[in-house]
Amino acid sequence: MFYDILAENDDSFQHKTIKHINTLPVEVRCRTYALMSVGKQLSAVKDAHLSNVFKLQKDNEELLRKLYEERRKVVDPNGGLGGVPGFWLNCLLKNETTAPMISSRDKEALQSLRDITIEYVDNDISKGFVLNFHFDSSVYLNQQVLRKTFRQNLIHGEQYLYGIEGSKISWKSDQADLTKCKESKKRKPGARFSGKHRQTESFFNFFALRHTRDMDMDSSDVRQEEEMEYEVGLEIKNQIVPFAIDYFLGERR
């Protein structure tokens, strides 16, 4: 979700509010201010409730980390128990949100995905979350971790997205870059082959770089794209990571 008021400073917003109230009949103005007072109290209650929810989540984080580490030791080929080949690839393929994002070319690269972990921005659940995709060495990627960060603001008891940040992927070669495909140009007789690259569908486009910015500067198309990415991020965080074995077995979609 996006919150348009984030793009406005408090003075501007208050000025618009007062201007609107002044257009109301005199007898309605006092009632409006009374309603605003009740609204502030309701927001305070919601803030307190969400604060308690965050505290409970934080209390559970240590237990979750221990359980996720136990799972990693079983799944990860480097975990000491032999590993489960293609575990995370199969989880992503069996989720209705992420499956359509994976091209046939992506599958080999995602075979080396050995874990997906979750962190919180500034170690604060209310500020957003980071998805870390851990890879074994492969012929595709130079780095072993790709990150996707979703920054959030807490306003009136609700969390709102205000920024997305990705990872600059370092591919081992131009041919290994799964986000590009080669588009040939017509050649004149005797001319050497030339070509250009354009972006193609790939799960790795999910890691495209984004920058925190005021939401009112975005076009509706960009907002829609970022909302879709946010939904994917939430699906991975809230469904795929905690219920990975269910997806692997096909018990969840």
Give the helix/strand (H/E) hosting 171.
Answer: none
φ/ψ (deg, to 5) at 73? -60, -30
Provide the pLDDT for residue 20. Answer: 81
Provide the pLDDT for residue 19. Answer: 77
Q: pTM higher than 0.85, yes or no? A: no
Q: What count of residues does the chain have?
A: 253
User: 216: which DSSP letter?
Assistant: G
- Residue type at 98 in one-letter notation: T
Kindly give the interhelix angle for 26-75 and 10-21, rounded to the nearest 10 degrees.
Answer: 140
Q: Specify whether the CB–CB gap between 98 and 240 falls below 8 A.
A: yes
Give the helix/strand (H/E) hosting 13.
Answer: helix 10-21
- Determine the Cα–Cα distance for residues 111 and 211; give it in Å rounded to an integer: 29
Q: Please list the rounded mean pLDDT of every run of 10 residues in the chain (253 residues).
A: 43 69 80 83 78 76 91 91 95 97 96 96 90 96 96 80 93 93 46 47 90 54 86 97 97 90
Provide the pLDDT for residue 105. Answer: 93
Instruction: Identify the structural domains of the chain with CATH numbers, from first to last.
Output: 76-184+196-249 (3.30.1120.90)
Q: Where does residue 225 rank: exposed (0-12), middle (13-18), buried (19+ CB within 10 A)?
A: middle
- Residue type at 163 in one-letter notation: G
φ/ψ (deg, to 5) at 44? -65, -40
- Residue type at 25 in one-letter notation: P
Give the helix/strand (H/E) hosting 66.
Answer: helix 26-75
* Vertex 20 angle, CA 17 and 22, to 5°: 110
List, in sequence order, every residue forming a beta bridge with 182; answer none if it has no partner. 197
- Determine the Cα–Cα distance for residues 7 and 218; give it in Å rounded to an integer: 10
Provide the pLDDT for residue 113. Answer: 97
